[in-house]
Structure 1
Amino acid sequence: MKNRLPVEHFHFPVEKIKAGYYTDAYFLRTEEILNGDNHHPRVMMQLFTREPVVVCGIDETIALIKTCAHNPENITIHALHDGDEVAPWETLMTIEGDLADFAHLETIYLGFLARQSRIATNVRRVVKAANGKPVLFFPARYDTYQTQESDGYAAMIGGIKGFSTDANALASNGKGLGTIPHALIAAYNGDTLAATSAFDKYVAPDIARIALVDFDNDCVGTTLQVARKLGRKLAGVRLDTSGTMVDKSLLSQMGMFKPTGVCKELVHNVRTALDAEGFDYVKIIVSGGFDAERIKEFEALKVPVDTYAVGSSLFDGNINFTADIVMVDGKECAKAGRVHLPNPRLELVK
């Protein structure tokens, strides 16, 4: 049996949630009406999505119900697990109880599931495309910091093990990765070698020395300059050429391919230059606009990339979940177009 995150892992603003601060108003009025009319049928709420996804946010939904529902001891939950792959219309969770006890939570848990499943699904696709090569989760700058812990958890569920911030890495008990930004190079007057040397001098030796080599739009030249200086201490170089730029090493090769950004020809040029001078141990990390399709293309062409750093594309798309009542007091009762869909994969949540 798979483990679930314990309820204590999550921290909710309980009073605000119970008061309906984050809830669509009609759910609050639903509870008001049911309580005012003393009408308390036992319902079954059924959750599904309309597309194949890697579902994530289930454990947080369970914790939300157990923490912020009224009379949670009277609510029964059956659910899949975070990380399970779900088919369109497949029931991923049922919630049974008095609707007046948990109607105020629907807005919130559908949001958990939507965001976390979107990230987990995108990550799973990217990890699969990378064919076992490391993928780094680097999209923290593309959304508010408040989501970083849950985003990192969703990425871990999707299969990523390297993260850019400590908050992203919390769920995996890791630390944020990353070495040199363009800002540090700029602070050293655009001298990549000086910035990398300073990094090597002042940063703990157990942190990998990975040089960012596109500042001067001369990835091959800068790579060799840094490799000659650091020798065996250089673990890797990162290529991050802008999608509107053509690297200096490609100018004589142009004509038969799209030369902008981190293209396959640029990666080959850097790998060839490193190997020619005996730096075959130096890894190549690529970043800048990578998604599952682009990684799949690189892998099919056997481009010599060692690690992919992926950012904004992991937030792409929109995955929606729906919750419907399908049973009332043990009898089928659903709106037209919905029906009770039992799923033998669901497990009773204790």
Structure 2
Amino acid sequence: MAVGGVTPTPSRGRGGALLTDLYQLTMLKAYWEHGMHETAVFELFVRRLPPNRNFLLAAGLAHALDYLEDLRFEPDELEWLGGQPGFPPAFVDWLADLRFTGDVDAMPEGTVFFPEEPLLRVTAPLPEAQLVETRLISLLNYSSLIASKAIRFRLAAPKARLVDFGLRRAHGSEAGLFAARAAYLAGFDGTATALAGQRWGIPTFGTMAHSFIQAHDSEADAFVRFARAHPENAVLPIDTYDTEAGASKVVEIAADLRAEGIEIGAVRLDSGDLAAHARRVRRMLDEGGFPGVRIFASGSLDEHRVARLADVPIDGFGVGTALTVSADEPALDSVYKLQEYAGRPRRKRSEGKATWPGRKQVFRTCERGRLARDVLGLEDEALSGEAMLVPVARAGARLRLDPPLEEIRDRVRTSLETLPAELRGLESARTPFPVEPSPGVREMAREVDRRSSGGDVGEGFAATVRPG
């Protein structure tokens, strides 16, 4: 299966079926014992925006579909499970044949979304739909979290080159790999993660570590050797010892390298007062006759620091920790809730965590080229606006190949163009974007409440969970 326009390696990086919470398996056993195999509908959504976020960006759908298509219990997993208390051989044998056979509707990757809006809907026999909860949340939560963080860097630096440097700081290798993809689809220009280049065709960038320079007796010799080894990508870190002295050495060797047909592409700043160093280095390079040598900066950068460097002569930024762990807000409040079972709408009514029942759709309206409102309606409700969830899998299989990452990046750019200006800032907007439950959703909530408790509490529920 092509992913992002590039044929992936045989292993798609999925975890096994046991990469889940134990309670998924204990529930499956109870469903199995009582013959509860009718169709269930679950929806995955984010309850609320993190502080200083005005919107979120959908990502990770390709990973989720990989997981669903590959879902099966391997022999060693079944053997382990059979040795645990409460899982009899007949149940373990049943699990051996379990596959995901359901339908999936979802917002395409790169779509802007808001709290309470289904990012993904699963319609499948109850045991299948239940089992996949943990892994789906993990995959969509993380990729959407990082894409939503990455877009803040792009908003902070609309014209700069942005490169993901975060693999070594990520909480696990899978996280670092998925972060490279999420950041790229959100508008980064590339990544330092080599496997992301091989797997998805993401542009890769790499220079050298300070250790390369330290391994030489002369900083200038290190620069020359690296430039000759990589004449197409001569990017030189100049702050191993003294930033301005390093820049001076670059000017000294650049003319001789040019005579060999080698152009120094950029110098990298990674420490100290980046603004002050960048201004001095830019002046030295220009006066030395090398105005085409770019300046690239890295080192503990977040989007606010990048924004403060907007007027400084820095051409690009390498971003690591702040991106791949979303340092200021390291998680989304993502949930996956049952909305219908056996043809009847269901909803949770827990205090502060109530849900809207039924199969829902997001109907989006734009006015004068800007997002105006979203309505959370029933799937079959006749409402105006663009329907944001689209069919992506039927009977357990993708309906189409994953779109190329460039197509997703175009969707992100288009989405950003429709965002009202007040939602594009790095701080919380005074007025959250309006997302309103439709009359049909409100009435269904009232009906479910009457059926379950004999009382009409739908309006009270609506008042407590209004998005924003």
Normalising by structure 1, report the TM-score.
Answer: 0.84
59-68 vs 84-93, which moves further = 59-68
In structure 1, how many angstroms separate the alpha carbons of the residues matched to 2:268 and 2:297?
6
Secondary structure of the residue aligned to 2:309 is helix
Aligned to 1:222, which of 246, 249, 260? 246
Q: What do residues 94-146 of structure 1 show as CA deviations (whole Å, max 9, x unaligned)?
A: 10111212322211111111221122111111122112211011011113334
Alignment of 1:1-350 (within 5 A): 9=8, 11=11, 17-18=16-17, 21-49=18-46, 50-51=48-49, 52-68=55-71, 70-73=98-101, 75-143=102-170, 144-174=172-202, 176-189=204-217, 191-201=218-228, 203-206=229-232, 208-216=233-241, 218-231=242-255, 232=258, 233-241=263-271, 261-299=272-310, 302-314=311-323, 315-316=325-326, 317-336=330-349, 337-340=354-357, 341-343=360-362, 344-349=387-392, 350=399
Secondary structure of the residue aligned to 2:147 is helix
In structure 1, how many angstroms separate the alpha carbons of the residues matched to 2:205 and 2:44?
36
Instruction: Please tell me the residue identity of whatever aligns with 1:54.
Output: L
In structure 1, how many angstroms separate the alpha carbons of the residues matched to 2:3 and 2:204?
24
Contact conserved, 1:166 with 1:175, CA < 8 A, in 2?
no
Q: 1:66 to 1:172 in 2, by over 3 A?
A: closer
In structure 1, how many angstroms separate the alpha carbons of the residues matched to 2:221 and 2:156?
36
Q: What do residues 285-318 of structure 1 show as CA deviations (whole Å, max 9, x unaligned)?
A: 111111111111111xx11111111111102222
Instruction: Please tell me the residue identity of whatever aligns with 1:321.
Output: S
Secondary structure of the residue aligned to 1:78 is strand
- TM-superposed CA distance for 1:173, in Å, is 1.4
Identical-residue share of aligned pairs (%): 22
Q: 1:152 to 1:263 in 2, by over 3 A?
A: closer
- TM-superposed CA distance for 1:5, in Å, is 5.3
Q: What do residues 133-191 of structure 1 show as CA deviations (whole Å, max 9, x unaligned)?
A: 110110111133344432221122111122112113235414632122101011114x3
Q: How many residues align?
A: 319
In structure 2, how many angstroms separate the alpha carbons of the residues matched to 1:282 and 1:219?
15
- TM-superposed CA distance for 1:80, in Å, is 0.7
Q: 1:17 to 1:171 in 2, by over 3 A?
A: closer
In structure 2, how many angstroms separate the alpha carbons of the residues matched to 1:164 and 1:112?
21
Contact conserved, 2:302 with 2:322, CA < 8 A, in 1?
yes
Q: 1:119 to 1:55 in 2, by over 3 A?
A: same
Structure 2 unaligned residues grouped into runs of 5+: 50-54, 73-97, 363-386, 393-398, 400-468
In structure 1, how many angstroms separate the alpha carbons of the residues matched to 2:341 and 2:11?
32
Instruction: Please tell me the residue identity of whatever aligns with 2:24.
Output: F
Contact conserved, 2:235 with 2:265, CA < 8 A, in 1?
yes
In structure 1, how many angstroms separate the alpha carbons of the residues matched to 2:25 and 2:31?
10
User: Please, what is the CA RMSD of the aligned residues?
Assistant: 2.3
Q: 1:162 to 1:175 in 2, by over 3 A?
A: closer
In structure 2, how many angstroms separate the alpha carbons of the residues matched to 1:95 and 1:48?
12
Instruction: Please tell me the residue identity of whatever aligns with 1:17.
Output: G
Normalising by structure 2, report the TM-score.
Answer: 0.64
